[in-house]
Each structure stands twice: as structure tokens, then as C-alpha cells.
Chains A and B, each alone.
Chain A
Amino acid sequence: MALYNKLIFTGPVGAGKTTAIASLSDEPPVRTDALASDMTQNLKPATTVAMDYGVMTLEGGGKLHLYGTPGQERFNFMWEILSQGGIGVILLIDNNGNDPFHDLRFFLNRFRSFIDESGLAIGITRMDLKADPTLEAYHKEIDKLGFRAPILEVDARRRSDVSLLVQSLLFHLDPGLEVEEEDVRFAVS
């Protein structure tokens, strides 16, 4: 039986996958950045070429492995390998990108079979720089593609945001999960 102890972070170049993993990982994440030599260099000087890896240590010594897929499509052969044994996909979309809906459609279609077998939560980053498309519009878009998932605004640098996005995935998988202590938060608007 496969071990379901992986969480996959995916999305286009610059959406915040590496940062999100770093904000959750209990150990310094392993990065495989390289100087970009293609169109990616217009977006950021260094980018992930194989994968990012982080780990969360759980009670009882278990571990949740956090994998970030490379954003560039030419590395998509890696995606299927990384997804095996994953509990779900965290898809990050840069709202300030050229065509966020294109990115959304591309990654959902690419991961469709894996998502059907696991779960999905979508984080929209950089909404502070560009408010459109709205979350409402994203929901309509995934409805058209036949998906239903939590979609939340996320700042990948904020652990609380990334944590809540992962929590939304867990509750989406099983609303019956219980939290022992009531955790009342005051979100910054």
C-alpha cells in the first residue's frame, strides 16, 4: 500500500511555491534553484529546476513531505513522479501574472487525475498587487472545469496564510476532522 505522506505544491513560475514550502517546513528546505536561461528570467533570476522539498514533523514522529514542482512546463515529467502518494495538491496562482486563468486551467488539467484521487486547494497570491480576477471569478472558472475546491487569498510569506490553505485542503478532504482546542483568530484585513 502506498504511503500517503506527501503534499504537492504546484503552480506557475513565481507563484510562491518555494516560499510557501519554506514557511511551513520545520527544516531548512532543499532547493534546486538555477539561474534561469529561458523566458523565466524575465520573471525572476533564479527558478526551481527539479523540485523543492520541505518537511513537517508530526506528533509521534511522523513526517509530512512537502514537494514543490518546478514551474516550467518543460520539467513536467517530474510532476507525475512527485505526485505519487500525495494527499492532495496545493495550487498557487499568481494573480499578477500575464494570464492567471490560463495558468489555472493548465495546472488543473495537468493534475486532473491526481486531484480526482486526492484533493485540491487553491491559493491566489499577489492579490494585493492586482485585485482582479476576484476569488468569485476563480470559482466560476473551476466550476466550468468541473472542480470544486477552497480558493483563498494567500501571501506565501505568511505562515498563517499557507497553514490555513493547507487546513482548508484537509477539511475539504474530511470535514469531520476535529481540532482539540478552539483557535480564535483575528485576521489582518
Chain B
Amino acid sequence: MNKEPLKIAILGPKTRFNDLLHQFVKRDYPLGTVVDPEQADVCIVDLDGFDIEGLLLSQRQRMPDQPMIVLSLHQPDDDTCLWLKKPLQSRQLAEALETIRNSNGIVKETDNVKIVTATNQETRLNQAAQKLAVKHKANFKAVNTVIASATKYYEPVEYLQGLLIKAYRQAVTTGITLRIDTGWEPIFIYPHKRLVWVDADDQQLQAFCHLSIRKFTHLTGELASGPSITPELNTDGDSIPDGSQSMEAFLWKVSWWNSSGRLPRGVKSGNPIRLRRWPNLTRLWCPTSALRIAALLYHAARTPKEVVKHLGLPESDVYSFISASRAIGLIERVDEKEAAPTDLTEGEEQSLGLRPKHTPVGSHGGFLGKILRSLVGG
């Protein structure tokens, strides 16, 4: 057995996860010591880390025979690495390090250590994202309904929504570009242009949004103390990548998807609310039902339950709309006495000013429906 301490390098930028790896070697693996990659007997790399591909390639070119332990959620395509599946157990990492320490470079597979390849990280990341997306995407309406039946409320601060709102406040107040790290893709906020950028499409974002940050952390093995919001110093604020989105549109859809058909804590299904103004629906992700909900809640205060009943829409659609509208500051709570009385006829509502007076509806309501069908179908 090799009695020398195993020289271990942890590849990649300083992240919470890499800090944990440092702490693990120092505290829990006395047979090893952390060194620079050039002096290392083995490198550990978190394949789910940000922009790791270049570093990995460069290290491979410099030291092609150096053993590599890769940590990731899904198995990469590389037969020159040891792969440890996340969530990572310290026992597995210790076993992998011991395997290398005792092998003099000849590595064998064990139950916890798989030999894999890591030549195409982009493909692997895409596959991982797709798996995550497929797992949680399904039909968004179906997902909403399922979750809504289990629980009616959610706590926005436990989701990306809460983190975004906090980061927006900081970014707008300080004018500094910020970066949000959750263990998923980093999210960049550019307050001067009121834009957000993340290297993920809507399908991937939607999949991520169906999990609380804590649950995502648990699934992926990011065992750090929590998500972080940090200044992004490597940008001048003007060089914003292509594909950026408006802060409002991004927060809207994140909140819609975080809601998964539930109401945010603080909005009760039996208490009246009102829409201060229409959301800018030409620039926001939404189903057509959002127009109906917006129209009703803009006319008069109603409880979420009443909106569901009045419009005959699934509870999940209404609650997601309310969640997204509240996140961008459009929902206000109203005293019950100010709310629209229920069980009024259309005429009574009009006379009380709760429904707009307009000539066509009633005598020509069918005509409006025909226009609508022409617009939606055309």
C-alpha cells in the first residue's frame, strides 16, 4: 500500500460545493492533502459546475494520465474517469480516493465507483437537463392539477421566485450586476437594462421550477449551506449575452411555474383580491385563460375561489395566475366589504359598477365570441 498522502486537486472555481470538498479532504480524509492540479495524484471535478468543460480539457491535455474523479448527477460518456453519482456520500468519495491511492494508477470498478467517459460534457449536460425536464415537465396543466390537489399553498421564499425577488431588489438598489447560484444554472441579473440571462431554455427552467431549492439541492447533491446572490464582477453591465429576457417576464414565468397551481402563502383562497392593472400579457408567458382572469380581477375584487367558480376554470390556472401577478406586484388585498358581492345577476353587477356597461354583450355576446374564436384560431 502506498504510505504517501494522496495529493488531491479540486478542479474548478471556488464554489460552495468545492469548498465542501476541500473541507472533506482536510477533516475526513487524513490520508490525502489538497494540492494544485499540476502536483496532484488525482483530480476531483464537479461536472455539474459552471463552465467546467474548458478546465477539464486543459487538465487532460497537460496531464493525460492523471486519474480523475468526476461527480455528477448522470453518468458521463468517458472511460478514463471514475464517476461518483450525486448525491455524493462521503463514504463513496473516500472509497474512490482509497482505490486510487492503493492502485498506483490502475483503477478497478467497485459498487460505488464506476469507470466512465467524460469527453462530451455538453452532451451529458444536455441529457441531464432533458432528463430533469422530462421528469418534471409532462403537460404543464396536468402537473399543476396534480400538485394543486395535494396542497393549496406554497411558500415563495423556498423557490427560485423568492430568491429572484430578493436579488432584483438588491440589483435595482445597488445598480450592480448580480449572479444567483442555486446548484442549477447560474442566473445573471443586469439591473441597468432590466434584463436576466440564464443558459437554459423554457423547458429546462420549467423543470427546475417545479422543485423547491432545497429539494433540488438534495437531489443533485449540492450540500452547501444554501443558494447565494453575489456581485458579478466579470461584466461591465453592457455586454449582455444574447437570449436575455426582461426581469418582469422572467419573474412572471418562474412564479407561474413555482406555483404549480398553488396560491402563494399570504393569499387565501377565501379572501378578496384585486388586480391593480393588467399584466403586460403580450410580453409574458401565459395561457389564454390569463386574459379572462385578468379581466375579472381588474373589474372588481374577488376571492380566488370566486374567480374559479365564476369563470369555470381549473383552480390551478387561476392560482398560478394570481401567484405570477402577485410576484410582479399587481395583486392587492381588499377588505371583504369592498369585494364584489357574489350571486348577483349580470344586470345587478352592472348597476353596481362591478361589470362594465357595454351594448354588445347580451344582444351580441355571440358576436364577441365569434371574433374571439377568429382571433385565437387565426
Residues of chain A whose beta carbon lies under 8 Å from any beta carbon of chain B: 1, 4-5, 24, 56-60, 62, 64, 87-88, 116-119, 135-136, 139, 148, 150-154, 160-161, 163-168, 170-189
Tell me if B368 and A87 are in contact (CB < 8 A).
Answer: yes
Tell me if B374 and A183 are in contact (CB < 8 A).
Answer: no
- Given A87-B360, A152-B281, A187-B282, does the pair A167, B376 have CB atoms closer than 8 Å? yes
Please measure, in the bound complex, the distance between the C-alpha atom of A151 and the C-alpha atom of B373, giving whole angstroms: 22
Tell me if A172 and B282 are in contact (CB < 8 A).
Answer: no
Residues of chain B whose beta carbon lies under 8 Å from any beta carbon of chain A: 140-141, 202, 245-246, 249-250, 276-278, 280-289, 291-292, 294-296, 298-299, 310-312, 356-361, 363-365, 367-376, 378
For A152, the chain B residues whose CB sits under 8 A away are 278, 280-282
Tell me if A173 and B356 are in contact (CB < 8 A).
Answer: yes
For A135, the chain B residues whose CB sits under 8 A away are 277, 280
Chain A nearest CB: distance from B203 CB in Å? Answer: 10
Tell me if B288 and A183 are in contact (CB < 8 A).
Answer: yes
- Given A56-B374, A168-B278, does the pair A187, B294 have CB atoms closer than 8 Å? no
For B284, the chain A residues whose CB sits under 8 A away are 187
Please measure, in the bound complex, the distance between the C-alpha atom of A180 and the C-alpha atom of B369, giving whole angstroms: 10
The total of interchain contacts (Cβ-Cβ below 8 angstroms) comes to: 157
Closest residue on chain B to residue A173 by CB atoms: B358
Tell me if A189 and B249 are in contact (CB < 8 A).
Answer: yes
For B361, the chain A residues whose CB sits under 8 A away are 173-174
For B283, the chain A residues whose CB sits under 8 A away are 153, 187-189
For B370, the chain A residues whose CB sits under 8 A away are 58-60, 62
For B357, the chain A residues whose CB sits under 8 A away are 116-117
- Given A175-B292, A187-B249, does the pair A180, B282 have CB atoms closer than 8 Å? no
Please measure, in the bound complex, the distance between the C-alpha atom of A126 and the C-alpha atom of B295, giving whole angstroms: 25
- Given A62-B370, A171-B294, A182-B288, does the pair A176, B311 have CB atoms closer than 8 Å? yes
Taking A187-B284, A189-B249 as known contacts, 7 extra A-B pairs with beta carbons closer than 8 A to each other, sorted by chain A number, are: A58-B373, A87-B359, A152-B282, A167-B375, A173-B356, A184-B140, A185-B287
B371 is contacted by which of A58, A150, A185, A188 (Cβ under 8 Å)? A58
Chain B nearest CB: distance from A69 CB in Å? Answer: 20
Tell me if A56 and B371 are in contact (CB < 8 A).
Answer: yes
B365 is contacted by which of A150, A174, A181, A187 (Cβ under 8 Å)? A174
Please measure, in the bound complex, the distance between the C-alpha atom of A165 and the C-alpha atom of B281, giving whole angstroms: 9
